[in-house]
């Protein structure tokens, strides 16, 4: 029978005495079902957030409840059905985020006092449910991990808002940390570059250029001080340096406009149309602002924008997958988490 050395015994005793630490991965959200009722519930929660639509006045509420929530859920449900994970009856975003949490938990399994869970800002599983579950498992410290490389008030900040709301109802609050945005983190840029190179190597054609498409934002939000646009620019510039490309070979665009206000430009769909009309025939699109594939990448980019490009004369189009739960993607998440857990584990 093998005996345990005094040093190992001391290490085990120290580890057993450490307070439990919870890690909560958080992504944007998803409807529970790919039908109009499910999408309506999701859109109502999403579009009622003052971080997303800043003017929540009577006019907006009338438009939201009287027009948007009556018509948009039906059309968006059809989009979700195109990319739905029918085997698990859930969106790919939910499938991937769960897998990211499972793989992170496995990677940290040698630290028995660390518990990993996941949540969605909108929809289920909720942030409240995630925090409650971690607390129920004895976690006295929680690291919230917004899975957004680039910071914006409508993504990262609203995650923090909800975490703070959940903690505000507790008498015995856990200690909290939040990971910062990682838009130029070396591990993130390297993972993006590696994934792009690996994907391009599988194609039967050579793209003439690559478009980096980020989720859009009303220009007025940036004018008020949101750093999102500058983060997207910094990510793209870092990726260009890593790939040895200039602005003519790796373009920056913004997708997913909503409403009539001016959004950040250039617009992805207009760029696809313009490039095809100018004679570009082969193209690839990467979406560096998304940590997991979702409606905006699998349907809007891989289907809608591919159709726009080909309709206007393009011949070959490829959407590069997000980092997802790939090995490079998990390296990024693990690097961020271990960095922010210093002193706790």
Q: Which residue in this structure is represented by tokens 């009287």?
A: 66
Q: What tokens were used for 120? A: 């969605």
Residue with tokens 């698990």: 88
User: How many C-alpha atoms does 189 have within 13 Å on its Cβ side?
Assistant: 18
Q: Which residues are annotated as a binding site?
A: 215, 296
Calculate ∠ Cα 257-263-265, nearest 5°. Answer: 100
* Preceding omega of 125 cis (within 30 degrees of 0): yes
Separation CA 235–CA 57 (nearest Å): 35
User: Can you say whether residue 188 is alpha, beta or left, with left for phi > 0 and alpha for psi between -120 and 50 degrees?
Assistant: alpha
State phi, psi for 253 to the nearest 5 degrees.
Answer: -140, 170
Q: Which residues pair with 26 in a beta bridge?
A: 119, 146
- Ramachandran sector of residue 29 (left: φ over 0; alpha: ψ -120 to 50; beta: rest): left
Q: What single-letter DSSP state applies at residue 66?
A: I
Paired strand residues for 254: 214, 267
Q: Which two tokens stand for residue 311?
A: 């309709």
Q: From the annotation, which residues make up the binding site for Fe(2+)? A: 215, 296
SS3 92: helix
Length of the chain: 345
């Amino acid at each position: 029978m093998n005996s345990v050395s005094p040093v190992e015994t001391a290490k085990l005793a120290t580890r057993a005495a450490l307070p439990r630490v919870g890690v909560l991965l958080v992504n944007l959200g998803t409807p529970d079902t790919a039908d109009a009722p499910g999408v309506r519930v999701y859109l109502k929660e999403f579009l009622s957030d003052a971080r997303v639509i800043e003017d929540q006045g009577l006019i907006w509420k009338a438009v939201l409840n009287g027009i948007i929530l009556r018509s948009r859920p039906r059309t968006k449900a059809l989009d979700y059905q195109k990319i739905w994970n029918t085997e698990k009856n859930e969106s790919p975003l939910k499938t991937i985020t769960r897998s990211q949490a499972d793989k992170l938990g496995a990677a940290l399994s040698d630290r028995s006092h660390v518990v990993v869970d996941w949540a969605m800002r909108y929809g289920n599983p909720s942030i409240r449910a995630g925090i409650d579950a971690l607390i129920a498992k004895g976690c006295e410290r929680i690291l919230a991990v917004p899975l957004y490389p680039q910071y914006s008030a409508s993504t990262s900040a609203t995650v923090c808002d909800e975490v703070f709301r959940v903690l505000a109802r507790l008498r015995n609050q856990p200690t909290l940390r939040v990971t910062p945005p990682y838009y130029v983190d070396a591990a993130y840029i390297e993972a993006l570059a590696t994934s792009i190179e690996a994907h391009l190597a599988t194609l039967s054609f050579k793209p003439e250029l690559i478009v980096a498409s980020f989720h859009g934002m009303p220009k007025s939000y940036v004018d008020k001080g949101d750093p999102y646009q500058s983060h997207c620019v910094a990510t793209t510039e870092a990726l260009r340096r890593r790939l040895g490309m200039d602005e003519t070979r790796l373009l920056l665009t913004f997708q997913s406009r909503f409403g009539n206000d001016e959004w950040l430009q250039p617009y992805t769909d207009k760029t696809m149309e313009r490039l095809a009309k100018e004679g570009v025939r082969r193209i690839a699109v990467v979406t560096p602002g998304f940590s997991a594939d979702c409606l905006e990448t699998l349907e809007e980019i891989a289907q809608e924008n591919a159709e726009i490009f080909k309709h206007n004369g393009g011949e070959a189009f490829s959407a590069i997958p997000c980092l997802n739960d790939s090995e490079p993607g998990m390296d990024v998440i693990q690097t961020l988490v271990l960095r922010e857990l210093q002193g706790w584990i």
